Structure 1
Amino acid sequence: MEEKKTLRQKVLSRRDQLSWQDVEAFSAEIARKMFALPEYIAADTSMYFLNFGKEVMTLKMVPQTFAHAKRVVAPKTLAKERSLILSEVLDVADDLAPGLWDIPEPKAERLRPVAPSEVDFVVVPGVAFDEQGNRLGYGGGYYDRFFANLREGVPLVAVTFEMQILPTVPVAAWDRRVELIITEKRVI
């Protein structure tokens, strides 16, 4: 656990040194690559984590996904249960507000529940990844628990900056790998 905590701090510190110009430019390139994926094109319902801090700017991907005539869902964090529930997003400005840890999430009064079984494509957050698809999350376990609720075969897609790809990432037995990793430089 201590190894994961130290690694998280190191990678996040490096990521925070990126300029906002780089975050924006890299995010646009990552979005371009993601929208070209056959898995994305085939999906009717896409789930996004909503970015905060210097994460890949997924909030900017949501309107583009609407333009592709796809349904968008986003997670709302239930802290007591340490779980996520999904809600359909129809309008970024009206439906979302800062939630737990100031991460954007669906407003309680705008919840439109969606079953995990309806999701076809999942864009997952993470602090670091390795080329084998192992993921180091933020440490709450929310996504690892959530993944078990998805239909078999739903692609887990990490959008991350190249500097967050490490030679190896420590994993536990319950950690689930992602199928695809998209950086500003490549698709793994």
Structure 2
Amino acid sequence: MEAPEPAAPPEPSFVAEKRRIRGEVRRRRRSLSPEQRLAAAAGLAEHLARLVRETGARSLSCYLAMPGEPDTAAFLEWATGTGLDVLLPKSLEGHRLGWIRPDGRGTVVGAHGISEPIGELLPGTAVGAVDLMLIPASAVDLRGMRMGWGLGYYDRCIASLERRPPIFAIVHDDEVLPEIPAEPHDSPVDGAVTPSRVIRFAPRG
């Protein structure tokens, strides 16, 4: 008789809590009605444009939203129409990000089924030259800690930058939490934008 497989070590509590929060965020995002999604997209476009004006940004990074994510389409239409220089992410091997300056020829499906624009591909460090980074998140907390989806693309990107622009996470209102678990590699953000407001977190350190 073969010896039984050794039991897997118990999952650390912070890992379990991150898993729980991500699951709850996915559930709530799936439950939004079409009307709620449209209202959230309009609110995001308004407050993201407000942030751009307040910071004086002429260049920024953002993302193309997947179904259920806070929708950035209306904001991106405004940003390109205003003449801002916009970079959008491309997933590369090793869970790294490159950046694309869209040329208006549409999108293709990239890694993880995420839409990526067609255009000039720039290295991951190119985003360090923009005036403002707008990034996705599953949740943020009132300390400025951001939680992604567990693959680490943005944490690696941010850690690689010699110059770090102001970074704001884009989330729904109920995804701003009092506190979320943080690990040493997690990158804090300077603020968050929701459909109802722009939040600035206290400087760290």
Secondary structure of the residue aligned to 1:143 is helix
1:10-25 maps to which residues of 2 (within 5 A)? 10-25=24-39
CA distance in 1, matches of 2:107, 2:80: 15
1:113 corresponds in structure 2 to: 122
Gaps of 5+ in 2: 1-14, 200-205
CA distance in 1, matches of 2:157, 2:139: 19
CA distance in 1, matches of 2:79, 2:52: 14
Gaps of 5+ in 1: none
2:194 corresponds in structure 1 to: 183
**CA displacement, residues 40-99 of structure 1 (integer Å, 9 cap, x when unaligned):** 652222111210011111133222101221111111001x321000110132xx242221
2:97 corresponds in structure 1 to: 84
**CA displacement, residues 128-153 of structure 1 (integer Å, 9 cap, x when unaligned):** 11122111101100000001233535
Structure 1 residue identity aligned to 2:132: F
Aligned CA distance change for structure 1 residues 21 and 150 (closer, same or farther; 3 Å):
farther
1:6 and 2:20 matched: yes
Secondary structure of the residue aligned to 1:43 is coil
1:142 and 2:153 matched: yes
CA distance in 2, matches of 1:151, 1:61: 28
CA distance in 2, matches of 1:62, 1:127: 20
Aligned residues: 183
2:47 corresponds in structure 1 to: 33
1:55 corresponds in structure 2 to: 69
Q: Which has the larger radius of gyration?
A: 2
CA distance in 2, matches of 1:100, 1:132: 31
CA distance in 2, matches of 1:149, 1:42: 25
Aligned CA distance change for structure 1 residues 183 and 116 (closer, same or farther; 3 Å):
closer
CA distance in 1, matches of 2:153, 2:32: 26
TM-score (norm 1): 0.88
| Percent identity over paired residues | 29
1:159 and 2:173 matched: no
TM-score (norm 2): 0.81
